[in-house]
Amino acid sequence: MSKKEKKQKEKDILKKVEDYRLKLNEDLLALLSDERQKDENREKTVKETLDFDTRKRLEKAYGIERAQASYKIINFNT
């Protein structure tokens, strides 16, 4: 393989890595945006809930959902 071919191959690999990195960033931003919207909806629901017992049940369930979302975000590209 000539030096020119090696350089081109290296450029191609770097381009693929950069494209992959950009795609991961886009996907992560979409995930974060989606989870932020879900969390805003959860907060709104809790604030609108007048019954104390229901509110506590929702807060517990939403805590679990938040933990699952955190896990999903942390392990996004593994």
Per the CB < 8 A criterion, the answer to whether 46 and 62 are in contact is: yes
Predicted TM-score (pTM) of this structure: 0.80
Cα atoms in the Cβ-side hemisphere of radius 13 Å centred on 25: 6
Q: Tens digit of pLDDT for each residue in 33-64? A: 999 999 999 999 999 999 999 999 999 999 99
Structural domain for 47, as ranges? 3-74
In sequence order, which residues have a C-beta less than 8 Å from that of residue 14 and are 6 or more positions away? Answer: none
Q: Which residues of 32-69 are buried (b: 16+ CB within 10 A; e: fewer)?
A: eeebeeeeeebeeeeeeeeeeeeeeeeeeebeeeeeeb
Into how many domains does the chain fold? 1
